[in-house]
Amino acid sequence: MNALVINCSPIRDGATAEITRIISAELAERYSVRSICIDDYSFAFCKGCRSCHNTAVCVQHDGFDRIINEFEDADIIVAVSPSYWADVPGQFKAFIDRCTPWCNTHEPHASLRRGKKGYSVALRTGPGMHECEKIIQTIEHFYGHMEIESSGSLGLCGVEYKSDVEQYADRITDFCNKI
């Protein structure tokens, strides 16, 4: 089985990247793992033209196509997202918006191979879980419209720097053991 672990942060070497690295290493014991960072791809914002509502195809062709192919190849998807003003970073939100051709709220729509399971990991610098819960809701909402089964989540508070991740190593490992 193939697992995709996506760093939803535009920062390739921060706390989110460290969590992505730990999850990837843990899952590599059981799955073929591919890790990507949203910022490694260049793609435009959704134009809002709605032509995909009639064709199930986006009029734009750019780095987005490579990311959606990663989603197609994966059986398991783990989205790891920091809090940017109590939600996912804009780069990941732009990706979600571009997934409209795959959204099950209109016909025709494209679809990913069935049977995918999605997991969500949210982190924030502050002490309250409410922001993590909002991020998880955003990712799970996205998974639902992509017909990816939401199968588990983890919220981590008090994480600003890569060094802050170490205190959660056991929780991250326990989370990975349920995937």
Domain boundaries, the chain: 2-177
Sole residue written with tokens 């706390």: 15
Name the nearest CA neighbour of 102 among 69, 76, 77, 135: 69
Question: pLDDT band at residue 88, thresholds of 50, 70 and 90?
Answer: very high
- CA 43 – CA 49 distance, rounded (Å): 16
Q: What pLDDT, on a 0 to 100 scale, did the predictor assign at position 115?
A: 98
Q: What pLDDT, on a 0 to 100 scale, did the predictor assign at position 137?
A: 98
- CA 10 – CA 17 distance, rounded (Å): 9
2-177: CATH topology is Rossmann fold (3.40.50)
Query: Residue 135: helix, strand or coil by DSSP?
Result: helix
Question: pLDDT band at residue 4, thresholds of 50, 70 and 90?
Answer: very high
Question: pLDDT band at residue 21, thresholds of 50, 70 and 90?
Answer: very high
Sole residue written with tokens 């199968």: 151
Tens of pLDDT, residue by residue over 94-120, are 999 999 999 999 899 999 999 999 999
Q: Report whether 63 contacts 43 (CB < 8 A).
A: yes
Question: What's the mean pLDDT when you consider all of the chain?
Answer: 97
- Give the pTM: 0.97
